[in-house]
Amino acid sequence: MATTPQLLAELAASIERFAPRDGVHPTAIERLSLIRASRPGEEPLHAVHQPAVCVIAQGSKRVMLGEEVYLYDASRYLVASVDLPITAQVVQATPRAPYLCFRLDIDPAELADLVLQAGRPASPQRSSSRGMFLGQISPVLLEAVLRLVRLLQTPEDIPALAPLAVREILYRLLKSEHGWHLHQIATTDSQAQRVSRVISWLKEHFAEPLRIEDVARQVHMSTSSLHHHFKAVTAMSPLQYQKRLRLQEARRLLLSEDVDAATAGFRVGYESPSQFSREYSRMFGAPPARDLRRLREHLGVSLAS
C-alpha cells in the first residue's frame, strides 16, 4: 500500500486537475465537490455545514461551531453528521500551494442502510454527541477517497463504481474511532436522531416564532431533555441555532436581493429592526449597511484578482 504522503500527493494533483480555479467545483459524481483556494480567507464564511466528510489534501482550515474551534489539515479529516451553522476560514494557502479539499456530502438514508450491515461500533470511553468531529487520516480511508476521485478520469465508470466507492468511504468512517457519532445519528429513534429531526424542522420554519414545547412534543422529548441533547449535538441551544439561521439568511437577502435591512430582518422573523441590527452586528461584526459594503468590496477584489 502507498504511504500517506504519496496518497495525499495524488489526491492533491487530482483536485488541482479537476478544480483548476478557486472556488467550489461540483463534479460528475453526485454529492462530490472539490474545493480550491489560492490564499487565506480574508473574510470568515458563515454557512450551514450540511452532513459531509471533508478531506484536505493541501493547506489548512479553521471551522468554528459556536465557541468551539476545529483546526484541520492534511493529517485530519472533518465530519459533520447534521446540519450545523458554522463559521469557516481557510488559514493556509498560497498560489503555488493552494488549499485543496475533497468534500463528500453524506446521505443519511444511505448511512442508515450501511449501519445495519456494519454493526454497532464500540462506544467510546468518553462519549460525545457532538455533530462535528475531527479524525486522524489513515491510508485505508485515503485509498477509498482516491478510488472515488480517480473515477472522474473515466466518467463512463461512474454509474457502476461510484456508489461502491462512496459506500466504502462511509464504511471506513463507521469503523473508525469516531464511528459511534455517525451510528447515533443514523439509528432510528436515538436521541441524536431526534435532534436531527428538530434541526430539519428549524431549517424549514426558522422565520416562525419558536415554541420549544411544541417542537419537543413532536419528537417525543421533554423540553429539558431537548435542550440538553440539542446542545450536546450542536454546541448551541435551539434558540441560538434559529438565530444563526435567521441572520445568515438575512445576510444572503441583503447581498443577493435589493432589500433594506428592515425588510430583510422582517422576512427572517424579526419584528424589531433595532433588535435585528444589534444581533446582526454581534454575529457579523458590523451593522447591516456597513457589513454589506465590506462584503461587496471584498467580492469585487476577489473577482478582479
H/E element, 240: helix 238-256
The Cα 196–Cα 120 span in angstroms is 19
Instruction: Specify whether the CB–CB gap between 100 and 56 falls below 8 A.
Output: yes
Q: Extract the C-alpha cell encoding 171.
A: 464504511
Task: Note the pTM of the prediction, 2 decimals.
Answer: 0.90
Number of domains in the chain: 2
What is the chain's alpha carbon radius of gyration, rounded to the nearest angstrom? 20
- Is the same domain home to 158 and 193? no
- Is the same domain home to 180 and 199? no
What pLDDT is recorded for position 305? 31
Pick the last residue of a domain from 134, 166, 185.
185
- Is the same domain home to 78 and 91? yes
The pair phi, psi for residue 45, each rounded to 5°, is -95, 125
201 to each of 164, 186, 195, 241, how far by Cα in Å?
32, 17, 10, 12
What pLDDT is recorded for position 88? 96
- Is the same domain home to 172 and 233? no
What pLDDT is recorded for position 113? 85
- Is the same domain home to 161 and 32? yes
Q: What is the pLDDT along the chain (305 residues), one digit of tens a residue?
A: 789 999 999 999 999 999 999 999 999 999 999 999 999 988 889 999 999 999 999 999 999 999 999 999 999 999 999 999 999 999 999 999 999 999 999 998 888 888 877 766 656 555 677 899 999 999 999 999 999 999 999 999 999 999 999 999 999 998 888 888 788 777 766 788 889 999 999 999 999 999 999 999 999 999 999 999 999 999 999 999 999 999 999 999 998 898 999 999 999 999 999 999 999 999 999 999 999 988 887 665 343 33
- Is the same domain home to 92 and 238? no
CATH number of the CATH domain containing 291: 1.10.10.60
- Is the same domain home to 116 and 239? no
DSSP 8-state assignment for residue 222:
-
What pLDDT is recorded for position 122? 59
Pick the last residue of a domain from 142, 159, 185.
185
Torsion angle in degrees (nearest 10) through CA of 234, 237, 239, 244:
-40
CATH number of the CATH domain containing 39: 2.60.120.10
Pick the last residue of a domain from 185, 215, 234.
185
116 to each of 19, 27, 62, 120, how far by Cα in Å?
35, 29, 34, 8
- Is the same domain home to 23 and 163? yes
- Is the same domain home to 152 and 61? yes
- Is the same domain home to 62 and 112? yes
Q: Which domain holds residue 258?
A: 188-305
- Is the same domain home to 108 and 227? no
- Is the same domain home to 38 and 172? yes
